[in-house]
Every structure is written in structure tokens, then in C-alpha cells.
Amino acid sequence: MTERVLIKDLSALADGPVSVSGWVETVRDQKKVQFVVLRDESGAVQLVNPRNSDADGVVIADEPATTISALTQGSFVTVTGQLKHDERVKLGGIEIKLDSLTVSTFALAETPIAADSGIDKRMDWRFLDLRVPRNALIFRIQTTLEHAFRTYWVERDYVELHTPKLMSSPSESNAELFKLDYFDTTAYLAQSPQHFKQMAQSAGFGKIFDIGPVFRADPSFTSRHATEYTGVDAEISWIDSHEDVMTMQEELLVAGFTAVAAKHGAEIKELFDVDVVVPSIPFPRIPLLEAKEIVASRGHVVDRNDDDMDPEGERQIAAYVEETFGHQFVFLTDYPTSIRPFYHMHSDENDALTKSYDLIFRGTEITTGAQREHRVDVLEAQAVAKGLDPNELSVYLDFFRYGVPPHGGFGMGLARVLMLLLHQGNLREVTYLFRGPTRLAP
């Protein structure tokens, strides 16, 4: 039996016998010849089957013609035949003249989604939606991006951790929590690996990263929120300020974008009409207060009762940075303590500010990062100031009672990066199986 060949590898082969497998994309059943476009995970190829006729020119019902006539779109088949290079063939300049065709599974004749189906309908039938080459490419890009991140970290002696997603107490706050029964007690799905990342610093790991699921019971229906998403987290010891964390993250993103551009740049341009821009280093840095003044000068005033930057403000500051610096990224720094967690270190110059940042990419926040407070007495005082009971944080606070170096880190949403990289308007497009307030299937 001839060994199966991926369609993308056919062009490099000499004319001769080959075997390919995939799903049927189209069938043209003509009187004298049949054409089938077959697609596998790597590409598409045209199959050709000249039909046999008797002396009177009547088509003979033989194989594989009879089977081809019965094929439905999406049926999975294996074929053997003769590969032929022919520049007249529009699909890749090659075709396969059939010797045999075996059907693994027939598909139902009517497919439930079409090219113009809405996003909710496509999400209902995601496994069919992902057969579209443009959609499938997203997850090859994701694979390359994650591999580049890991390579950057591993080459610099980081340790990869897989932190637990079942927790005995909230990791961030009592808001946006999923609770579940856990034997005779209550457990929570982790909103963040934050506490465990910091525990690794106390353990002396020095530099760690964690790529894994994050859960937020957020009833938001925006295009950039999900109840479960993949978080990209890192934490490093012996830093002087959050600037060290920012430097590491911008280097990480440059490594990721460089890998994506090299491996998928041409396909992304063809299928998404997007040029992958590898950002220059350093990324622009703007204190939050200054950023709000810039945004106001552009005609948008952030609510004075809001200590954060609102979504329109993020878009406006990104537009300013693009116009002024020709850059798609900007770090917003010096966030007030009022909107930051108790474990963010306060500024040495202004106790009302934190040594923290948000990273904005093409007008949308993708990251929050900071230097953490590592002095347990200060940490307890900041928890109390936030209305938290230190007794309920005892397990976390114990990490700091036996010595821990100055440290900091960030958390980044993988799907948001992909969404913005590919200029998509909705997180659902770049999430393998999306989870939101009204979606738990498939």
C-alpha cells in the first residue's frame, strides 16, 4: 500500500503513484470526466477521473466513477492515483489521475452552515467552521506563537509551571468567581495563577512561566471577553522595578511576532490581508495621567470618577501612538492604587500610585503587569486598606514570612493577542471552542 502523502508535499514529488486522504470539497460530475477537489489539513488538490464509455458513447457505470457520483461535500476519502505536474491546472499546478477511491465516511448531503452564516451559527458547528483554511490557519499561528514564547523563556532558563485551577479560596477577589462543590467543601476555579506564581519566587525558582486556562464569572457579552480563556503568565525575581517586567514582555512579543511573520506571513497576507508587523523595541511608555490628557486633547474625556482608562480611551491613545511613534503597542504606567490589587507595590515617589502597567495593542488591553509587594508587613497593611481580612489570606501571606526576593510579572490573554494580530473583531473567531455566559457547547 502506498504511504499517505500530505497534499502540501505533492508539488515536490516526481510524477508517479501517490496516495492522499482528506475530505471532499467539491465534485464536478461531467459526462466524459469527473473532477474532485480534495482537501486535507495541509492544502487542496484536484483529482481527475476520465469516464469510460461503450462503443456507442454511453457512459459505463464503473468504479470509481459510481462512488464519485455519490460523494457528498465533507465525505472523508482515501485515493490512490498518478501524480502529474501540469501548469495548466489552476490548483497548484498538479493533479492526480485516480486509480482507486475508498470512502472512510460519507457526510450528510446538506451542511448546516455556509460561508455567509453568522458567528453564532458557525460556533454551533465549530468543527465544520474550522475546515475553512482561513480559520484553521489561526491555530497554526497560535501554535507558532506559543512555541516562540516558550523558546524565549526556556533559552533564558525559565521554569514552566502548571498551576492548579481548583482553589480553596479566591485568587483575586470575591467577584467573578465560579464556585463548585468539592467533596464536603467549596472550591473555586482559578481567576489567575497569581498566588502560585509568587509562591514560586519564595521557593527560589527565580523565573517562571505558565500557559493555561483562566476562569472569570464575568457576565460580559463584549467582543473581547470570555468566561474561560488561555492566560500567558510570567513572574521573575530580583527586579529593580516593573520596568524589568516590561522589558522582558516586549522582548517576548518580538520573539513571538518574528516567528509568526517568518512561518505564516505570506498565508496571513493571503487569507487575512494583514501584514504581520514585528514591533521595534522599546515600546512607547506613557504614564496613565499623561495618557488621559492626550486622549482629552483628541476629543475624548474619560469619566473623572474612573481611575482607569476606558475602551475608547485605549483606542485613542493607541491611535496617538501609531501616529506619533509608528508603533502598535504602548505601555500605560503608574496606575492608581484604587484600581490595582493589594499585592501591587506602591510607588516610592507617590503612595497613591503603583509600580504597574497595562499593555495596549492596537487599541485594546492585552496585559496587566506589576512589581509585587514582597514585604509581608506592607502587604498585610495594603490588604487591610483594601478591606480584606489578612486571616482569610493566611496561606498566601505565609509565602512571604520566610523570605522572598523582589519580584514582578504579568498576565496576558492569548486570544486577545491573536485577535488583534489578525485584525479580527471578535475573540470567538480566534478561540478554538469559545466559552461565554450563554455558551457551553460544543
Q: Which residue has 523558546 as its cell numbers?
A: 151
- List the grid coordinates of 366: 492585552
Return the exposure string of 397-413: e unless at least 16 CB atoms fall within 10 Å of the residue's CB, then b: eebbeeebebbbbbbbb
DSSP string covering 82-93, please?
A: EEEE-TT-TTTT
Residue 161 marked ligand-binding: no
Residue 61 marked ligand-binding: no
Residue 337 marked ligand-binding: no
Residue 156 marked ligand-binding: no
* Contact assessment for residue 302 and residue 295, using Cβ atoms and an 8 Å cutoff: yes
Distance CA 89, CA 92 (A): 7
**CA atoms within 13 Å, Cβ hemisphere of 389:** 5
Residue 409 marked ligand-binding: no
Residue 136 marked ligand-binding: no
**CA atoms within 13 Å, Cβ hemisphere of 176:** 17
Distance CA 414, CA 359 (A): 13
Residue 415 marked ligand-binding: yes
Residue 365 marked ligand-binding: yes
Residue 416 marked ligand-binding: yes
DSSP string covering 244-283, please?
A: HHHHHHHHHHHHHHHHHHHHHHHHHHHHH--PPPPPPSSP
> Residue 104, Cβ neighbours under 10 Å: how many?
11
**CA atoms within 13 Å, Cβ hemisphere of 311:** 4
User: Can you say which residues are annotated as belonging to the binding site for L-aspartate?
Assistant: 172, 216, 368, 372
User: Can you say which residues are annotated as belonging to the binding site for ATP?
Assistant: 365, 413-416
User: Can you say which residues are annotated as belonging to the binding site?
Assistant: 172, 216, 365, 368, 372, 413-416
